[in-house]
């Protein structure tokens, strides 16, 4: 029969639990699964982002041997961003493991490890949901806390730029040329990227926006006149390409509240290195001081009077869009 002393085994050390909580598993959430954000560990709780005020200019022609065009030094500025501390705790009481016996092919240690792994996995899933929520917040330019009100990071404000108004797609009008509207969106996005090129664009759409888009006359007529007409008879939630943008219904929500407003969509450039960043700081443990941060951490400690163990799982992320003007918000 397992006893509380089993937690003295090296299988429950910080390094062992780090391996458990950071092992690969199915990613919940469309943004996480898309690989849109570049992930990296940092050794401090603050990340410095360089704001480059460089403006490109055309070089005027001049006579050979004459004076050249003056190249002005870049106006660069380092802006600090703090990572967000996301801790959560759980308990495993002695009563939960006292009935575990070494029966069959499983040892007491393996059985207790399974109990810990299940609790850690539940904690990680809740952290994954939070990461997805904060990543879509970074796309929207404002990372909100779990209460849905407190602003953790206003990206436009931190970069000192004005938030542009949402671009109206005028989907309520049957006469709207949606393809032409999409071209206007891509042109604005291209202007914001400057000399940086993307491989494409993807729009994450709210429920109402999506319904109005796929039912709009100009969208339906385009597909009816093509070999892709069969897509209209299939699942109405599948992504499709139209007007140079891949349109995708975004389904992330919590407690019935969607992460993307029903009447909105957000168009992001794809294939731009460093545009979306997920930086992870180290945990606030003695063992992890000045180490490169990992996405997740977990640790156990004894409860008073040996009544069980107290566990913690935490993550310390910074989810950021480094060129917020390159993301275009759309409305119906």
- Please check whether residue 173 lies inside any domain of the structure: yes
- Please check whether residue 280 lies inside any domain of the structure: yes
- Please check whether residue 324 lies inside any domain of the structure: yes
Please give the pLDDT value at position 98: 75
User: How many other C-beta atoms lie within 10 A of the C-beta of residue 211?
Assistant: 16
Please give the pLDDT value at position 56: 47
Give me the sign of the Cα torsion angle 128, 88, 46, 287.
Answer: negative
- Please check whether residue 122 lies inside any domain of the structure: yes
User: How many other C-beta atoms lie within 10 A of the C-beta of residue 275?
Assistant: 22
Please give the pLDDT value at position 55: 44
Please give the pLDDT value at position 102: 52
DSSP letters, 268-305, are EEES-TTSEEEEEPPPSSGGGTTSPP-S-EEEEEEPGG
- Please check whether residue 254 lies inside any domain of the structure: yes
Which residue(s) pair with 48 in the sheet? Answer: 80
Those residues whose C-beta lies under 8 Å from the C-beta of residue 13, and which sit 6 or more positions away, are: none
CA distances from 68 to 54, 62, 64, 329 (A): 19, 7, 9, 42
Number of domains comprising the chain: 1
Helix or strand or coil: residue 19?
helix
Q: Which helix (H) or strand (E) holds 214?
A: helix 207-214
Which residue(s) pair with 122 in the sheet? Answer: none
What six digits make up the tokens of 6? 């089993």
Closest Cα to residue 272, out of 35, 77, 53, 52? 35
Q: What is the CATH number of the domain that holds 282?
A: 3.90.1690
Radius of gyration of the chain (CA): 25
Please give the pLDDT value at position 225: 59
- Please check whether residue 64 lies inside any domain of the structure: no
- Please check whether residue 285 lies inside any domain of the structure: yes
- Please check whether residue 115 lies inside any domain of the structure: yes
What are the pLDDT tens digits along the chain (332 aa)?
Answer: 567 788 888 888 888 899 989 887 766 789 999 999 999 999 989 888 877 654 444 455 556 555 565 555 555 677 888 999 999 999 999 888 877 765 555 688 888 888 899 999 999 999 999 999 999 999 999 999 999 999 999 999 998 899 999 999 999 999 999 999 999 999 999 999 988 889 999 999 999 999 999 999 999 887 765 555 555 555 666 788 999 999 999 999 988 899 999 999 999 999 999 899 999 999 999 999 889 999 999 999 999 998 999 999 999 999 999 999 999 999 99
**Considering the entire predicted model, what is its pTM?**
0.87
Those residues whose C-beta lies under 8 Å from the C-beta of residue 49, and which sit 6 or more positions away, are: 78, 79, 80, 81, 320, 322
- Could you list the residue range(s) of the whole structural domain that residue 323 is in? 4-53+76-331
């Amino acid at each position: 029969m397992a006893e509380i002393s089993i937690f003295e085994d090296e299988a429950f050390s910080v390094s062992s639990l780090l391996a458990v909580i950071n092992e690969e598993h199915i990613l919940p959430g469309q943004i996480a699964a898309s690989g849109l954000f570049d992930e990296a560990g940092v050794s401090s709780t603050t990340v410095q982002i360089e704001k480059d005020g460089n403006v490109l200019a055309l070089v005027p022609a001049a006579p050979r041997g004459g004076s050249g065009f003056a190249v002005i030094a870049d106006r660069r500025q380092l802006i600090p961003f703090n990572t967000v501390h996301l801790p959560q705790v759980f308990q495993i009481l002695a009563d939960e493991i006292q009935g575990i016996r070494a029966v069959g092919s499983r040892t007491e240690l393996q059985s207790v490890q399974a109990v810990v792994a299940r609790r850690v996995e539940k904690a990680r899933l809740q952290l994954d949901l939070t990461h997805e929520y904060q990543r879509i917040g970074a796309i929207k330019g404002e990372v909100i806390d779990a209460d849905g009100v407190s602003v953790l990071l206003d990206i436009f404000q931190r970069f000192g730029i004005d938030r542009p108004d949402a671009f109206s797609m005028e989907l309520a009008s049957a006469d709207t040329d949606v393809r032409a509207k999409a071209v206007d969106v891509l042109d604005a996005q291209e202007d914001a990227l400057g000399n940086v090129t993307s491989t494409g664009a993807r729009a994450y759409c709210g429920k109402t926006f999506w319904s109005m888009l796929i039912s709009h006359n100009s969208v339906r007529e385009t597909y009816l006149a093509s070999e892709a007409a069969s897509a209209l008879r299939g699942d109405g939630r599948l992504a499709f390409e139209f007007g140079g943008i891949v349109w995708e219904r975004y389904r992330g929500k919590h407690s019935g509240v969607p992460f993307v407003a029903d009447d909105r969509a957000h168009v992001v450039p794809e294939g731009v290195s460093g545009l979306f960043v997920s930086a992870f700081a180290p945990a606030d443990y003695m063992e992890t001081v000045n180490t490169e941060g990992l996405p997740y951490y977990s640790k156990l400690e004894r409860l008073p009077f040996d009544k069980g163990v107290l566990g913690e799982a935490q993550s310390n992320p910074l989810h950021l869009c480094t060129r917020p003007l390159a993301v275009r918000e759309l409305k119906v």
